[in-house]
Amino acid sequence: MTSSAAFETRAIHVGQEPDPVTGAVTVPIYQTSTYEQDGVGKHRGFEYSRTQNPTRQALERALAGLEQARHGFSFASGMAAEDAILRTLAPGDRVLMANDAYGGTFRLISKVWSRVGITWTALPFHDIAALDSAWPNDVKLVWMESPTNPLLNVFDITAISALAHAKGARVVVDNTFATPYLQQPMNMGADYVVHSVTKYLGGHSDVVGGFVATNDHELAADLGFVQNSAGAVPAPMDCFLLLRGIKTLAVRMDRHCENAAVIADFLLSHPRVSRVLYPGLESHPGYEIAQRQMLAPGGIVSFQMADGAEAAKAVAERTELFILAESLGAVESLIEHPGVMTHASVAGSPLQVPDDLVRLSVGIEHIDDLLADLKRALG
Ligand SMILES: *Cc1c(COP(=O)(O)O)cnc(C)c1O
């Protein structure tokens, strides 16, 4: 399998060659903690499953292939993946993040890593000139997402990466919302791409996991060292579920995006909705950048209710197909009230989420059923 094959083809074949021993077409679940050695210190590439596991190795190759990256490392959760990158820093290093960074990222940096001397600054990332003049001078790592959660802000990854590099900092892009199918930050200057594979890459709400990609051999060596030393690795069964999930990523994303665009238009014309946040709408401030750096605007749509917080909570409780739940990116549609459900845990976060906001993770059900459900819930 050459890396020049199209995305859909790579998603099914890279890292997932038939098993050389049995010919099994699907990568087996190597449910083993250790491996027989041929002699003392003579092994066949696998010694102990914290260090290497064939199912995990297949997943790491598959995901690195999708991000067009040389190296990939899988973790037990998206947060464990982020934590591994932060473990490569030293006391006194500063992380510069967008002021609407994912709540869990904000919490990990500001409440956990700050204990051992990592410092941080949160700034708006939409105005590059303003970001340039506000840049603190000890920034080691720039941490960004695009689109962001749950406000769907879109940032110029190429411009921010160029600025960061000019200032001597490295760039992490959390590509969870876009997925490598819609956006490839490695080709826009990112030094690391991080994922919660719990979301679209897994795609079926049945596994929690994380991933980091990089092209830099030194960063990769350090990440591999951290992965093995700290040991937050995924189990073989979880790797198998992810390998299964990513094979259909492209077709799922096409339908997620198609359904989300129709729903964004529907909400835009609804009298009880005061504002729709979706990067595919021309009214969205990040529309132009999204057109440039994404294949399509994604499957998440947020909106604000004209009658305030209680109305937003009521809508989130009244849908039937849209399941009231945290998380996103799976085949079934989900609805949530970020102010109470996912963003309450990150109190102190620099940017407050409006309490009349509802977030939809639009699934791949038939659009007519999804529209009917929202119409009924909006009354
Ligand atoms: C969910 C999520 C994470 C955290 O990943 P877990 O798998 O829940 O640990 C990080 N970033 C973004 C953008 C997410 O949506």
Q: Which domain holds residue 369?
A: 249-378
The residue whose CB lies within 8 Å of the most ligand 1 atoms, and thus the one to mutate among 198, 201, 208, is 198
**Interval 161-213: pLDDT, tens:** 999 999 999 999 999 999 999 999 999 999 999 999 999 999 999 999 999 99
Find the 183 Cα to ligand 1 centroid distance in Å. 17
Is 2 a member of any domain? Answer: no
Please tell me whether residues 288 and 193 are part of one structural domain. no
CATH number of the domain at 355, please.
Answer: 3.90.1150.10
Please tell me whether residues 279 and 141 are part of one structural domain. no
Model confidence at 363: pLDDT above 60: yes
Please tell me whether residues 101 and 222 are part of one structural domain. yes
**Interval 19-32: pLDDT, tens:** 989 999 999 999 99
CATH number of the domain at 31, please.
Answer: 3.40.640.10
Please tell me whether residues 241 and 197 are part of one structural domain. yes
| Residues near 256 by beta carbon (within 8 Å), at least 6 away in sequence | 200, 298, 299, 329, 362, 363, 364
The confidence band for 346, taking pLDDT boundaries of 50, 70 and 90, is low
Say what the alpha-carbon torsion angle 325, 327, 333, 338 is, to the nearest 10 degrees: 60
**Interval 204-249: pLDDT, tens:** 999 999 999 999 999 999 999 999 999 999 999 999 999 999 999 9
The beta strand positions in the chain, using DSSP E, are 71-75, 94-98, 119-123, 139-145, 170-174, 192-196, 210-214, 273-277, 300-305, 323-324, 334-336, 357-361
Please tell me whether residues 145 and 74 are part of one structural domain. yes
The beta strand positions in 135-242, using DSSP E, are 139-145, 170-174, 192-196, 210-214
**Interval 32-82: pLDDT, tens:** 999 999 999 999 999 999 999 999 999 999 999 999 999 999 999 999 999
Find the 109 Cα to ligand 1 centroid distance in Å. 14
Closest CA to 71 of 231, 221, 197, 281: 221
Is 343 a member of any domain? Answer: yes
- Given 227, 247, 267, which residue is the final one in a domain? 247
Please tell me whether residues 33 and 149 are part of one structural domain. yes
Model confidence at 327: pLDDT above 90: yes
* Closest atom of ligand 1 to CA, residue 327: 1
pLDDT > 70: what percent of the chain?
A: 97
Cross-strand pairs, 94: 119, 139
- Quote the CA–CA distance of 42 and 36 in Å, as a whole number: 10
CB within 6 Å of ligand 1 — which residues?
77-79, 102, 104, 145, 149, 174, 176-177, 196, 198-199, 208, 210
Please tell me whether residues 24 and 131 are part of one structural domain. yes
Asked if residue 208 lies in contact with residue 198, where contact means CB atoms within 8 angstroms, the answer is: yes
Please tell me whether residues 220 and 263 are part of one structural domain. no
Cross-strand pairs, 170: 141
- Quote the CA–CA distance of 237 and 253 in Å, as a whole number: 24
- Given 247, 264, 294, which residue is the final one in a domain? 247
Is 348 a member of any domain? Answer: yes
Global pTM exceeds 0.85: yes
Protein residue with its CA nearest to atom 13 in ligand 1: 176
Is 126 a member of any domain? Answer: yes
Mean pLDDT of the chain: 96
**Interval 284-313: pLDDT, tens:** 999 999 999 999 999 999 999 999 999 999
Please tell me whether residues 104 and 206 are part of one structural domain. yes
Please tell me whether residues 11 and 87 are part of one structural domain. yes
The residue whose CB lies within 8 Å of the most ligand 1 atoms, and thus the one to mutate among 82, 143, 176, 345, is 176
Residue whose entry in the numeric block shows the structure tokens 């309450």: 344
* Closest atom of ligand 1 to CA, residue 208: 7
Closest CA to 347 of 107, 170, 11, 7: 107
Find the 365 Cα to ligand 1 centroid distance in Å. 23
* Closest atom of ligand 1 to CA, residue 210: 7
Is 111 a member of any domain? Answer: yes
Question: How many domains, in total, are found in the chain?
Answer: 2
pLDDT at position 227 is 98
- Quote the CA–CA distance of 154 and 281 in Å, as a whole number: 12
- Given 224, 247, 270, which residue is the final one in a domain? 247
Please tell me whether residues 235 and 208 are part of one structural domain. yes
- Quote the CA–CA distance of 78 and 361 in Å, as a whole number: 18
